[in-house]
């Protein structure tokens, strides 16, 4: 590698194929859950048994390496590497095309669709960078679908872990009065700022550095958080304080096996009103209660069975989530 080119710390995780059986979780999901506490800003799947995780500091990368080594099967190897700043994005660009998620079209600059005369759809331009959120990952799609379950017109939206800014930008294009994107990673915020400017929504989208558990923020009508199940569970009390009574919480980034813990955490503050599944990922929308009733909460699973239509309960990636021109 050319030493003159700027590099960033990364962690290559490789599993020998016998270490992973077909009925086990994909390696990328296992690794993502382990490294979440060490502030990764991008995770890429390089093959069925290979994952690269990008970090902003060597200390975080090294701590993540130790955690992966301690928690994974011995046949899973974690190796520290240094990669060029543009390495991840340049490889990603070749395969990314515009994708439609309900009314929202997420498109890279080189595949912007012609939407002349189409007032129903909104286009969000996102250039792949070192922040998450190109619209192609199931968790981003689930969050976009969750936002579209709500009438956002003239509401304020808070996007926790904004990444590329795709959710905040989509919210204002869907009618929200104002959106605020929060992230703790400076590279993600820089990527989000580029996205905000490219979409000409700078007057309606504010970006801020912040930690969810210590965030000083007035409550808003809608909070969207595409994080991880473990983190969503841990910050549930803080997230609940950020939503006005009667407002909604849109959650994504939840693996199927994490759903019960997330539901238990948020049932103390809100009621579930929507749920969708794509592959092994779950998205939810919760309505913040005006006043928490005392006594035992009705389990969220009971609510899903009795209140949510079966097609909504089990809705999966389908006709509303299509690649443009596919």
Domain ranges of the chain: 7-91, 132-317
Instruction: Report pTM.
Output: 0.70
- CA dist., res. 42 & res. 29, Å (int): 13
Q: Which residues of 248-272 are buried (b: 16+ CB within 10 A; e: fewer)?
A: bbbbbbbbeebbebbbebbbebbeb
Residue 323, pLDDT > 80, answer no
State the Cα torsion 270-275-278-280 to the nearest 10°.
50
Q: Which residues pair with 288 in a beta bridge?
A: 270
Residues 110-158 have pLDDT tens digits of: 888 877 667 789 999 988 654 456 677 889 999 999 999 999 999 999 9
CATH architecture of 7-91: 2-Layer Sandwich (3.30)
Q: Do domains 7-91 and 132-317 have the same CATH topology?
A: no
Phi and psi for 125 in degrees, rounded to 5?
Answer: -90, 120
Which fold does the domain 132-317 belong to in CATH?
Rossmann fold (3.40.50)
- Gap between the Cα atoms of 215 and 209, Å rounded: 9
**pLDDT digits over 79-93, tens only?**
999 887 655 555 555
Rounded to an integer, what distance in angstroms lies between the CA atom of residue 74 and that of residue 77? 7
For 159-201, the pLDDT digits (tens) are 999 988 999 999 999 999 999 999 988 888 988 999 999 999 9
């Amino acid at each position: 590698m050319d030493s003159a080119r700027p590099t960033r710390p990364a962690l290559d995780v490789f599993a020998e194929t016998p270490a992973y059986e077909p009925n086990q979780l994909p390696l990328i999901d296992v690794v993502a859950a382990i490294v979440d506490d060490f502030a990764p800003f991008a995770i890429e799947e390089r093959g069925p048994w290979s994952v690269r995780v990008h970090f902003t500091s060597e200390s975080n990368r090294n701590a993540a390496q130790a955690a992966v080594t301690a928690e994974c099967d011995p046949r899973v190897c974690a190796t520290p590497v240094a990669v060029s700043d543009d390495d991840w994005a340049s490889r990603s660009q070749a395969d990314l095309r515009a994708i439609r998620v309900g009314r929202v079209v997420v498109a890279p600059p080189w595949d912007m669709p012609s939407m002349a005369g189409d007032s129903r759809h909104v286009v969000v331009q996102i250039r792949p960078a070192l922040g998450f959120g190109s619209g192609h990952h199931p968790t981003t799609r689930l969050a976009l679908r969750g936002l579209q379950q709500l009438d956002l017109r003239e509401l304020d939206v808070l996007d926790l872990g904004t990444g590329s800014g795709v959710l905040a930008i989509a919210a204002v294009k869907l009618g929200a009065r104002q959106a605020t994107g929060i992230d703790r990673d400076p590279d993600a915020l820089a990527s989000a700022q580029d996205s905000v400017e490219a979409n000409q929504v700078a007057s309606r989208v504010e970006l801020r550095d912040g930690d969810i558990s210590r965030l000083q923020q007035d409550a808003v009508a809608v909070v969207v958080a595409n994080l991880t199940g473990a983190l969503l569970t841990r910050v549930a009390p803080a997230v609940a304080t950020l939503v006005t009574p009667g407002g909604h919480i849109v959650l994504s980034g939840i693996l199927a096996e994490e759903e019960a813990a997330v539901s238990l955490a948020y049932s103390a503050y809100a009621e579930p009103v929507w749920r969708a599944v794509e592959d092994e990922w779950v998205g939810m929308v919760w309505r913040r209660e005006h006043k928490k009733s005392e006594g035992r909460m009705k389990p969220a699973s009971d609510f899903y069975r009795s209140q949510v239509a079966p097609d909504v309960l089990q809705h999966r990636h389908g006709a509303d989530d299509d690649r443009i021109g596919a």
